[in-house]
Amino acid sequence: MGGDASTGIAAEGAGDAAAAEAVAAAASLRPQQLDRLGRAYATGRRKDAVARVWLKPGSGRIIVNGRDQTEYFARATLRLIINQPFDVADRRGQYDVMATVSGGGLSGQAGAVKHGIAQALARYEPALRPLVKKAGFLTRDSRVVERKKYGKRKARRSFQFSKR
């Protein structure tokens, strides 16, 4: 309650130093993984969708299945999902992305591309891995559609009950 302002600032400074030290330690743990063309490759998955993602330094162009992201993902929310890893790492507009995605619907495909971009970003710049991991983008979202059961209309929905 009656804390000194200077102790709060000192504690914050110590936290920043510890965070910088953790980032440096994490960067030394994993090497940069690039192919012979200087790109980082990663696979992203979400629901039934699988995305293969290649990341290289550039002007921020994102190509999905040979089309621009604005053309392939027409909804702004889907484009927002795709760009989340870049926003967290503060790297928007610095990398070109080429992705091929198949399976599932548009929402699952956007999630798969996001997962692939996050993985590729962590492989291209290992120092960004703690930031992207803390945001939860490196973890595959394991939620999938529940299967339909016999004796039910859907996975859990029963048929309408008739008393008489």
Query: Which residues neighbour 52 within 8 Å (Cβ) at sequence distance 6 or greater?
Result: 41, 43, 99, 100, 101, 116
- The yes-or-no verdict on residue 27 having pLDDT over 50 is no
- 158: its two tokens: 């029963």
Q: What pTM does this model have?
A: 0.79
Mean pLDDT of 9-31: 59
DSSP 108-157: HHHHHHHHHHHHHHHHH-GGGHHHHHHTT-SS-----PPPPPTTSSSSSP
Mean pLDDT for the chain?
88
Distance CA 38, CA 33 (A): 9
Task: Note whether 104 and 46 are within 8 A (CB).
Answer: yes
pLDDT (tens digit, 9 = 90+) per residue, 28-57? 678 888 989 999 999 999 999 999 999 999
